[in-house]
Amino acid sequence: MQLAPAGFTNPEDAVWHFLSDRLRRRSRAVLLYVVESSGQTPGRAGFKMAVAADGGLCGSIGGGRIEADLVERARAMLRQRAPVIEILRRVHQPHHPESSGMICGGEQTVVVMPCRKSDAATLRTLLARREAGRCGILTLSPNGLGYRAARAERPPHQFVRRGGVWSYAGFIAPMETLFIVGGGHVGLALSRVMATLGFRIVVLDERGGLGTLEQNESAHERRVVPFARIGAAVPSGARHYAVIMTPGHASDELVLRQLVRKRLRYLGMLGSRRKVAEIFRRLRDDGVPQEMLDIVRAPVGLPIGSQTPAEIAVSIAAEIIRIRNG
């Protein structure tokens, strides 16, 4: 069984959907995009925001005074008959001659780009490739917004400026996928949290008709799969994460045996320290190398004294974010 979340928009794609919608409705809009950043800045390279002529806003380039000023600049641009692209450098150092008035100490360069009718097709292609799990390159230049396919990962942000000539290329990766093995209360809570963090969520459980599985409107996919066949449902991948939280220790062990040898960015298992130790002992006895077990996050989640499903979900999400960010 599969489910596309009702009205769900991946947070990382919200600005692209917003712009695509405004252009489809023939409403004018401006893209604000951080193409370069260094030091401590309110918004890093890749942060983006859209400002529409109908008053709508989407996304963020870091908040605070800088964002407010640039939003007003975008609104002024929307009132112009023939606006042109601007590229603005903001220095957040109090004694710098170009100081923004902020004291965080970094610098950022922001492109303020009025969107064109032709950008609608570019945005549709970008979103379609993201949903299909394919890579691409976003380009910004004096010629406007562009997008092209990519077969392999590239540097995340490449900004070049020589005199009056500049260009930006940003790698747009496919969505990262979280496989939640177990559709119970914690799986439901974890789906809700992770949906806000830009993950594609797949929930797997062998219990057809499970209420919490049916209620899970945050998951992109819900599948009824025997726990004995989970290995075929969770492929290896550098952008794949998996958390095991089945209803019992025997099924947890059954699933872990199938996933422990896979190449995953993250593998965690819910359970008490005693249960984890016993399952690990049996796997070692059956020849699973200790170095493979060492990468399993078990008990899963950061130790924050979690008790409720929602608290446990937050602890797991925090651990996954820490792994994803470095």
Over range 158-163, report the average pLDDT: 90
Q: Architecture of domain 176-324 in CATH?
A: 3-Layer(aba) Sandwich (3.40)
pLDDT of residue 3: 42
Q: Does 237 have pLDDT greater than 70? A: yes
The torsion angles phi and psi of 38, rounded to 5 degrees, stand at -150, 155
Range 299-304 average pLDDT: 96
The single residue listed with the structure tokens 């606006």 is: 83
Strands of 142-228 (E only): list them: 144-150, 157-162, 165-172, 176-181, 199-205, 221-224
Q: How many CB atoms sit inside 10 A of residue 9's CB? A: 15
pLDDT at 131 over 50: yes
How much is the pTM? 0.75
Distance between CA 202 and CA 242 in Å, rounded?
A: 9
Tens digits of residue pLDDT in 39-88:
767 778 999 999 999 999 999 998 888 899 999 999 999 999 999 999 99
